A and B are shown apart, each in its own frame.
Chain A
Amino acid sequence: GAVVSQHPSRVICKSGTSVKIECRSLDFQATTMFWYRQFPKQSLMLMATSNEGSKATYEQGVEKDKFLINHASLTLSTLTVTSAHPEDSSFYICSARATSTDTQYFGPGTRLTVL
């Protein structure tokens, strides 16, 4: 089946630092990847749509300068949380959509804790 990986799985950082999260589709090409965040016991909220070779499309209320997204290849998208603050602490999940299907395959998530 389609596998999506994320790295790192957990990260703890100090306030003011930047954190990069990688999302990779391991056995398929994904022209589109999506980034979500999830607070404890809540649902997933779409942050942005990442398209290979073009700028990401951000959902309303998501700061593009705060959450930098790069989709440099058909198998890799990165999310960089810049100048992280405690309120950015969350579970970040990516998904990748194979070009031939409507199904999104999700990564295992990254737990970010900002001290």
Chain B
Amino acid sequence: SQQGEEDPQALSIQEGENATMNCSYKTSINNLQWYRQNSGRGLVHLILIRSNEREKHSGRLRVTLDTSKKSSSLLITASRAADTASYFCATAYGNNRLAFGKGNQVVVIP
């Protein structure tokens, strides 16, 4: 099975700064999705980018997809304390299944 894999880093940033995290995957995908998870809670869908798209925006979120490099990035601009969470990328493959990456822990310091 393929797997999205984030860079193994925990981010600690000041409120107002931008946070960038990356994700790489191994095989062809239908789409790539980013999710947020607060500690001990379920996942919140943030954004979906299809394999034929290169960039997508949603509020303070910007996602890029480079299918030639099999990688994606998630940028959160003007971070807020409420953005503190784990962020996962997930790649969609056969029968709409999702393969999740390891996750990035982001801490936004007020």
A42 at the interface (CB under 8 A from B): yes
A42 and B45 in contact (CB under 8 A), knowing A34-B97, A97-B96, A102-B96? Answer: no
Contact A102 B35 (CB under 8 A): no
Which among A46, A93, A103 is the interface contact of B97 at CB below 8 angstroms?
Answer: A46
**Chain B nearest CB: distance from A93 CB in Å?**
6
15 A-B pairs in the complex with CB atoms less than 8 angstroms apart: A6-B42, A34-B97, A36-B100, A44-B100, A46-B98, A49-B97, A57-B95, A93-B43, A103-B45, A104-B98, A106-B43, A106-B44, A106-B45, A107-B42, A109-B40
Q: Which of B42, B45, B92 contacts A93 (CB 8 A)?
A: B42
Taking a contact as CB atoms closer than 8 A, the residue among A32, A44, A57, A59 that contacts B43 in the complex is A44
- The digit string for B31-49, where 1 denotes a CB below 8 A from any CB of A, is 1010100001111110010
Smallest CB separation, B27 vs chain A (Å): 16
Chain A residues in the interface with B (C-beta under 8 A) = 4, 6, 32, 34, 36, 42-46, 49, 57, 59, 91, 93, 95, 97, 102-109, 111
Q: Which residue of chain A lies nearest to B92 when distances are taken between CB atoms in the complex?
A: A102
Q: Give A93 to B86 CA distance when docked, in angstroms.
A: 15
Is there an interface contact between B48 and A109, defined as CB atoms closer than 8 Å? no
Known: A97-B96, A109-B40. 20 other contacts (CB 8 A): A4-B42, A32-B96, A42-B103, A43-B101, A44-B88, A44-B100, A45-B100, A46-B97, A46-B99, A49-B97, A95-B43, A102-B96, A103-B48, A104-B33, A104-B96, A104-B98, A106-B35, A108-B42, A109-B41, A111-B40
